[in-house]
Amino acid sequence: FFKRMDEALSTGMVNKDWLESWLDGKPPENVIFGTSVENQAMAELRIPRLLSIPAANRFVSFEPLLGPVNSGLDGISEIVIGGESGRNPRPCNVEWIRSLARQGQEAGVKVHVKQLGAFSIEEQGSQRRRILYDDPKGGNPSEWPEDLREFSVLG
């Protein structure tokens, strides 16, 4: 980040006063930085890097969500959650989505669920079942479990 900002400043691509204000700890409100995270390992790698960037607004896209993620969301403004769609989608457990939505709520972060994915699963005890949707991406909130509908990007 800082190297790119130095380059932008030296080439005249960025207003010097604006950049100096940013680097002095006053990041612009109209800029948002984000990263994508698909599992716990990537959360541990990418979220700290994102938090190291001086920014007023940060987001994490948990797409495609391929495993459970337990991550502190302090310093994050918004999260988007979604299972994988397309050819040969990998499974997404609905409980992983629920867990992230709860974590976001508890941290005061805006939570948006985009889709549950083309290969959604639900586990109840030792039972695991695939959920089939009319929408091939699992993107129709009316087909979702009721507790997730409030987070729909369509809602």
State the DSSP string of 124-137. Answer: ETTEEEEE--SSTT
Q: What is the pTM of this model?
A: 0.85
What is the torsion angle, in degrees rounded to the nearest 10, for the CA atoms of residue 67, residue 59, residue 105 and residue 134?
-60
| pLDDT tens, the chain, 155 aa long | 667 666 766 776 666 777 778 778 888 888 899 999 999 999 999 999 999 988 999 999 999 999 999 988 999 999 999 999 989 999 999 999 999 999 999 999 999 999 999 999 988 888 889 988 899 999 999 999 999 999 997 65
- C-alpha separations of 13 from 4, 10, 16, 128 in Å: 11, 8, 9, 54
Q: What is the DSSP letter of 117?
A: -
